[in-house]
């Protein structure tokens, strides 16, 4: 170094260089944002050239909805992983199932690019969740497609393969007004089918017979054939876990009830798993759409060789025993199972929690609910002020935020400091997404350049150099030459942590925008617009474009309003206090806002955007 070049000037030069590299690295064209190209399968990790030790996770999602594609992708990035998903042309679209065979081919052809797998057996076997509720796909073909997982594990024995399958819900899919009638009838029959055997009440048997007589035979036969086939695939999945073809298995119970035909199926599956001694390598819980997110959190605990510890805060003593709508076990037990699957632990008495899961739950009356909300929001505000990581799961109402809770929370605390917020769909969905984001956030805040999960490989003069530290699966890297691990504080780790942080803040704002603003306000406006346009709310068909434009126009102002809370905020990238000379990143702008309806209905809304940011030298 030139002796005339002062230390402070040199430091400023390094900060300027880091800022330039960060901005170039994060300025990724939209075509690469999902890790896929318009012209074919997903490419190798988007970050591979710049962060060569970033893990790539292949996700075969439950279906093409944002909850199963967008959210898991973002949670992957928050955890420091690169998601790899099938190209859009292979995916399902509402009533049109995915091409299972081509999906399996794509998975096999691209498996060498992945370090780990999160696979929906439902997608591989039937082409998506909606398709799984019909008997169209024969059991033989479903089992043939499932065998691709076995072949995958045999070819890559060192790579973790996490799989989930769905225990069929009580009802059929409602894709028309007539289907809605069948939805209600089939659901009622399925509940009574169990209740008259386990907890009968006067009149149940007569109601059961009357409801059954109102269901057309073709609808009933299709429903029962699908149930029988799906249960056989559930059983086969358990057998594959026992044989070692799956490293971890989750059986998610789709929309259920305290009573129902599903109860005997789930009980038999659990007994079978226990009889063949699966132990802690599987779980069953109410939920479906959140399972990708929960398993990604488990991968983070696996790769980084450390588990977060959770403390659960309930709004009152009774809420732990609450059985939420569409579920069949107490909420405390469902939370316990989700935390186990996520690769985390629940704090024992006296232990310090890494993350607090705070719940807004229902109460027996409005006065008690208001008192509980005041108490839990005070608790969240105090914990955030102390610098704790708090994930808020808003459970009061199915499929939307509790507006009073969100308004109270925003009034009392800086919601941009939360580790997660979740209020979409069922209680299990909300819990799982909150855990997925919060655990990913915790792991990325604790990232160090020499973590066991870090590995890298480069090619120089035709020779491959790679480094994979102990504890990580190393499938597919036999006999590689070894290079030194990245040095502490290297620019690649700093860039990765900044990438994780930006994605976290983006997802956090997205959840408030979607769960609070869209579900409570824009969606209701859209329902009125659909009625005035004479469109079918179950299938918009040729009206989709008009309704989508209406939704985009209506929701955009809410996006900008939420952004005002995030604008100018410093993006925290480390669990520890910053060194005096560490440059800081600040959220500057809301960019590339795009609001669409992925399916021809308004139940789902996909929201994409990016935060622009500034990197400034420490004062």
Q: What is the 3-state secondary structure (H, E, C) of 527-585?
A: HHHHHHHCCCCCCCHHHHHHHHHHHHHHHHHHHHHHHHHHCCCECCCCCCCCCCCCCEE
pLDDT mean over 427-454? 86
Give the pLDDT confidence of 222-236 residue by residue, as tens digits.
Answer: 999 999 999 999 999
One DSSP character per residue, 472-533 reads S--TT-TT-EE-PPPPTT-HHHHHHHHHHHHHHHHHHHHHIIIIIIIIIIIHHHHHHHHHHH
CA triple 90-95-99, angle to 5 deg:
25
Q: State the pLDDT at residue 22.
A: 43
Q: Which domains does the chain have, with CATH numbers?
A: 40-169+226-304 (3.40.50), 451-482 (no CATH)
Mean pLDDT (the chain, rounded): 86
Q: State the pLDDT at residue 219.
A: 95
Q: State the pLDDT at residue 275.
A: 94
The pair of three-digit structure tokens given for residue 283, joined into one six-digit string: 């779980």
Q: How far apart are CA 219 and CA 179, in angstroms?
A: 10
| Residue 87 contacts residue 28 (beta carbons within 8 Å) | no
Q: State the pLDDT at residue 174.
A: 84
Q: How far apart are CA 195 and CA 200, in angstroms?
A: 6
Q: State the pLDDT at residue 177.
A: 79
| Strand residues in 183-262 grouped as ranges (E) | 248-253
The pair of three-digit structure tokens given for residue 197, joined into one six-digit string: 């055997």
Q: How far apart are CA 58 and CA 46, in angstroms?
A: 13
The pair of three-digit structure tokens given for residue 443, joined into one six-digit string: 């792991």
pLDDT mean over 60-75? 97
Answer whether residue 58 shows pLDDT above 60: yes
Q: State the pLDDT at residue 117.
A: 98
Q: State the pLDDT at residue 176.
A: 80
Q: Between 251 and 318, where is the model more confident?
A: 251
Q: State the pLDDT at residue 483.
A: 33
Q: State the pLDDT at residue 619.
A: 59
Q: What is the largest CA-CA distance in the chain?
A: 95
Answer whether residue 323 shows pLDDT above 60: yes
pLDDT mean over 8-18? 45
Tell me which residue of 94, 183, 71 sits closest to 429, measured CA to CA.
Answer: 71
pLDDT mean over 163-179? 90
Q: Helix or strand or coil: residue 351?
A: coil
Q: Between 560 and 471, where is the model more confident?
A: 560
Instruction: Report DSSP state, residue 155.
Output: H
Tell me which residue of 77, 45, 157, 60 sits closest to 436, measured CA to CA.
Answer: 77
Answer whether residue 457 shows pLDDT above 70: no
| Residue 75 contacts residue 507 (beta carbons within 8 Å) | yes
Tell me which residue of 555, 545, 511 sits closest to 67, measured CA to CA.
Answer: 511
Give the pLDDT confidence of 529-580 residue by residue, as tens digits.
Answer: 999 999 999 999 999 999 999 999 999 999 999 999 999 999 999 887 555 5
Q: Which residue has the tokens 């590995």?
A: 455
| Helices and strands, number each (H, E), in the chain | 18, 18
| Strand residues in 101-171 grouped as ranges (E) | 116-120, 161-167
What percent of the chain has pLDDT above 90?
A: 76
Q: State the pLDDT at residue 465.
A: 27
Answer whether residue 213 shows pLDDT above 60: yes
Q: State the pLDDT at residue 490.
A: 58
Give the pLDDT confidence of 484-536 residue by residue, as tens digits.
Answer: 344 445 566 788 889 999 999 999 999 999 999 999 999 999 999 999 999 99
pLDDT mean over 372-399? 96
Helix (H) / strand (E) element for 586: namely strand 584-596
Give the pLDDT confidence of 76-126 residue by residue, as tens digits.
Answer: 999 999 999 999 999 999 999 999 999 999 999 999 999 999 999 999 999
Give the pLDDT confidence of 394-432 residue by residue, as tens digits.
Answer: 999 999 999 999 999 999 999 999 999 999 999 999 999
Q: How far apart are CA 219 and CA 232, in angstroms?
A: 20
Q: State the pLDDT at residue 460.
A: 27
| CB burial string 355-390: b at 16+ within 10 A, e below | bbbbbbbbbeeeeebeebbeebbebbbebbeeebbb
Contacts of 489 (CB under 8 A, 6+ apart): 449
Q: State the pLDDT at residue 360.
A: 96
Q: State the pLDDT at residue 578.
A: 53
Q: State the pLDDT at residue 268.
A: 96
Give the global pTM.
0.87
How confident is residue 582, by pLDDT bands cut at 50, 70 and 90?
low
Answer whether residue 32 shows pLDDT above 60: no
One DSSP character per residue, 414-464 reads -GGG-SEEE-SSSHHHHHHHHHHHHHHHHHHHT--TT-TT-EEEEEETTEE
Strand partners, 438: none
pLDDT mean over 267-283? 94
How confident is residue 480, by pLDDT bands cut at 50, 70 and 90?
very low
Tell me which residue of 487, 484, 500, 491 sits closest to 447, measured CA to CA.
Answer: 500
Answer whether residue 4 shows pLDDT above 60: no
Answer whether residue 19 shows pLDDT above 60: no
Q: Helix or strand or coil: residue 226?
A: helix
């Amino acid at each position: 170094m030139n002796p005339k070049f002062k230390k402070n000037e040199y430091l400023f030069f390094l900060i300027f260089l880091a800022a330039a590299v960060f901005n170039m690295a994060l300025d990724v064209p939209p075509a690469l944002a999902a890790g896929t190209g318009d012209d074919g399968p997903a490419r190798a990790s988007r970050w591979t050239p710049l962060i060569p030790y970033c893990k790539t996770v292949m996700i075969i999602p439950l279906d093409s909805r944002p909850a199963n594609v967008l959210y898991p992708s973002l949670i992957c990035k928050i955890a420091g992983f690169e998601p790899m998903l099938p190209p859009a042309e292979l995916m399902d679209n509402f009533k049109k199932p995915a091409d299972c065979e081509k999906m399996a081919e794509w998975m096999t052809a691209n498996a060498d690019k992945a370090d780990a797998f999160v696979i929906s057996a439902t997608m591989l076997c039937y082409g998506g969740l909606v398709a799984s509720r019909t008997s169209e796909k024969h059991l033989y073909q479903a089992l043939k497609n499932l065998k691709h997982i076995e072949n995958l594990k045999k070819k890559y024995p060192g790579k973790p393969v996490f799989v989930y399958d769905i225990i069929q819900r009580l009802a059929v899919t409602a894709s028309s007004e007539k289907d809605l009638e069948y939805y209600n009838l089939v659901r009622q029959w399925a509940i009574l089918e169990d209740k008259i055997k386990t907890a009968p009440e006067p009149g149940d048997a007569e109601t059961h017979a009357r409801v059954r007589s109102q269901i057309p035979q073709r609808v009933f036969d299709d429903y029962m054939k699908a149930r029988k086939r799906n249960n056989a695939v559930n059983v086969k999945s358990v057998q594959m876990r026992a044989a070692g073809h799956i490293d971890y298995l989750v059986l998610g119970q789709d929309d259920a009830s305290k009573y129902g035909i599903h109860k005997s199926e789930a009980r038999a599956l659990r007994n079978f798993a226990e009889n063949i001694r699966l132990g802690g390598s599987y779980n069953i819980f109410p939920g479906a759409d959140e399972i990708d997110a929960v398993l990604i959190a488990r991968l983070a605990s696996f790769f980084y060789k450390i588990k977060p510890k959770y403390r659960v805060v309930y709004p009152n003593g009774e809420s732990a025993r609450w059985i939420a709508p569409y579920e069949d076990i107490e909420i405390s037990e469902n939370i316990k199972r989700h935390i186990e699957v996520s690769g985390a632990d629940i704090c024992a008495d006296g232990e310090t929690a890494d993350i607090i899961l705070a719940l807004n739950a229902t109460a027996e009356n409005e006065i008690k609910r208001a008192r509980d909300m005041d108490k839990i929001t005070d608790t969240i505000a105090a914990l955030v002020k102390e610098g704790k990581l708090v994930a808020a799961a808003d459970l009061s109402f199915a499929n939307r935020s509790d507006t009073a809770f969100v308004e109270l929370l925003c009034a009392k605390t800086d919601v941009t400091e939360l580790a997660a917020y979740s209020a979409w769909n069922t209680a299990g969905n909300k819990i799982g997404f909150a855990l997925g984001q919060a655990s990913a956030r915790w792991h990325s805040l604790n990232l160090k350049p020499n973590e066991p999960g870090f590995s890298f490989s480069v090619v120089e003069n035709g020779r491959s150099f790679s480094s994979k530290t102990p504890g990580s699966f190393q499938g597919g890297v036999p006999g590689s030459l070894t290079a030194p691990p990245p040095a502490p504080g290297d620019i690649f780790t700093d860039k990765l942590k900044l990438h994780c942080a930006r994605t976290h803040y983006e997802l956090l704002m997205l959840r408030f925008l979607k769960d609070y603003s869209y579900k409570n306000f824009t969606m209701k406006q859209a329902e009125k617009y659909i009625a005035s346009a004479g469109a079918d709310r179950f299938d918009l068909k040729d009206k989709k474009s008009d309704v989508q434009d209406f939704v985009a126009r209506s929701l955009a102002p809410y996006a900008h309003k939420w952004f005002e809370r995030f604008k100018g905020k410093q993006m925290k990238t480390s669990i520890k206090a910053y060194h005096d000379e560490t440059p800081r990143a600040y959220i500057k702008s809301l960019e590339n806002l795009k609001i669409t309806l992925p399916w021809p209905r308004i139940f789902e809304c996909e929201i994409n955007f990016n935060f622009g940011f500034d990197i400034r030298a420490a004062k």
